Copies of this chain bind each other. A is one copy, B any other.
């Protein structure tokens, strides 16, 4: 805890594949944000239209606290934006730059379903 200096020997990829390793480091958090089914549900709901926390709570059936809890990391990653409106907070997807490849992967879901990748 205090005796050990947390020097994670993440030797900063230096090989010819260093760029890819770095890219993975940069992109992983984005995927992680979508790796939870509840957070992904929220993002998919927002891909339809902007919604307030209350709407998200109703649509998902989750506790308000939990919805808010999941929105926090999405916010900090810049995947969603907040716009106070009245006493509600309207959430929206950030942009397409990241969601475009996501859509491509999303379309893959049917293919890989049941591990039946028939390509």
Interface residues in chain A, defined as those with a beta carbon under 8 Å from any beta carbon in chain B = 7, 10-11, 13, 15, 17, 20-21, 23-32, 34-38, 40-41, 44-45, 48, 58-61, 76-79, 94-98, 100-101, 104-117, 119
Most buried by B among A37, A59, A98: A37
Q: Are A41 and B24 in contact (CB under 8 A)?
A: yes
Contact of A108 among B101, B105, B109 (CB under 8 A): B101
* CB of A91, distance to nearest CB on chain B (Å): 14
* CB of A76, distance to nearest CB on chain B (Å): 7
Contact of A115 among B28, B58, B78, B105 (CB under 8 A): B78
Given contacts A28-B37, A30-B105, contact A97 B112 (CB under 8 A): yes
Q: Closest B-chain residue to A104, C-beta based?
A: B101
Contact of A23 among B20, B79, B109, B115 (CB under 8 A): B109
Distance A100 CA – B108 CA, assembled complex (angstroms): 11
